Amino acid sequence: MASSKTMELQFTTLDVFTSTRMQGNPLAVVSVPAALRDKLSQAAKQRIAREFNLSETAFLHAGDSSSGGERRVDIFTAEREIPFAGHPTIGTAVLAKYHLHPHPHPHSQVDALVTKAGPIGLVAEEEGGRVRAKIPHNVHLHANTLGDVIGGGGGAAGGGYPGLSPVPEIRAAELAAPVFSVVRGMTFVLAQLPSLELLARVAGAARLDFAGLPEPLLDEGWRDSFVCRYYYVDVDPSEEEGGKEEGARYMRTRMVEMGFEDPATGSAASALASYLTLKEGRKGGTTTKFRLTQGVEMGRRSDISVDTMTRDTSEGGVELVDLWLGGTAVVVMKGSLTVDV
């Protein structure tokens, strides 16, 4: 029997990491008024996310007199709440800074989004309506690879562990790929492929059950996490649309997991850039630029920028200091939804 009590909420959908509608990664942002903040339960948010059935749905909470320039954001997939995700961050930031508060008053200007992973500082770039988001990070390289925990059952030459690629070269990359967390709760298997031809052969029909692996893939203390595979290929900037930024590393990427393909995965792009920065041990104080294009194979091109900065450690290594995710978004739909409470 339907509930007799309902609430009505406004929502906006945006295509993120693009300025062209029907490209990029779709996002729904539900605006939560201050008066309904304590009435909209986490369970209700999960039901709304399932109803939208997008890769993520964000819930943007209105501020009050004590909020300053911060706004709380909760991020849900269709299955669970997650602490951070890239395209909800950029999409919500563009909505807040360019549409909800286009001429900000000191009491309404949004300077940061507060996620479960921590506060994310925002900087508007007037050119093209772009935003840069300073991503909270707690990076960690896990000891195991898929090859370590699956063993011979997923061997590149023979076997086929359920969910691994049937293509030997791709399967070998999956098994050898580093496993890297950008924050607690967001982990990626970073599989490097040698060519765009192989990238095009990545398929997501089978789902790899990370929770059901023969041994734990993630280190102790990090196992309560979303995990997926992220594939990448280094490309010649001259062959990429707009690929002329001096000193930037250009890549084509795909995230194919859970039976679907994600047009843009900003959290995975942030993880990949962080891992490569630390792996290469760039001298402290160096800014490294990464320009990633995702979603081409599924017809939803997304352009993601990530900048990293390091500093030297007393042990002679380097550590990540700043992690900036950048992009734009375009509004597609606006409307209201009714929720039983």
* 14-28, 102-116, 242-256: least confidently modelled range: 102-116
Q: Look at residue 107 in the predicted model and tell me its pLDDT.
A: 46
Burial 180-212 (b: 16+ CB within 10 A, else e): bbbbbbbbbbbbbbeeeebbeebebebebebee
pLDDT band, very low/low/confident/very high, at 158 (cuts 50, 70, 90): very low
Q: Look at residue 295 in the predicted model and tell me its pLDDT.
A: 97
Q: What is the pLDDT of residues 53-86, one digit of tens each?
A: 999 999 999 987 667 789 999 999 999 999 999 9
Average per-residue pLDDT in the chain? Answer: 91
Q: Look at residue 151 in the predicted model and tell me its pLDDT.
A: 82
pLDDT of 207 above 90: no
pLDDT band, very low/low/confident/very high, at 157 (cuts 50, 70, 90): very low
pLDDT of 155 above 70: no
Tokens of 257: 């997991």
Q: How far is CA 174 from CA 78, 155, 178, 224, 278, in A?
A: 25, 10, 9, 21, 20
Number of helices (H) and strands (E), helices first, in the chain? 6, 18
The Cα–Cα gap between 87 and 97 comes to 15
The Cα–Cα gap between 8 and 48 comes to 12
Q: Where are the beta strands (DSSP E) in 102-237?
A: 112-115, 118-125, 130-134, 140-141, 179-183, 186-192, 226-234
pLDDT over 70 percentage in the chain:
92
Section 266-276 average pLDDT: 97
Q: Look at residue 241 in the predicted model and tell me its pLDDT.
A: 75
Task: Find which of 97-111, 205-219, 291-305 is predicted with most confidence, using mean pLDDT.
Answer: 291-305
Q: How far is CA 72 from CA 115, 120, 126, 226, 242, in A?
A: 6, 10, 24, 21, 34
Q: Look at residue 282 in the predicted model and tell me its pLDDT.
A: 72
Per DSSP, 36 falls in state G
The structure's pTM equals 0.92
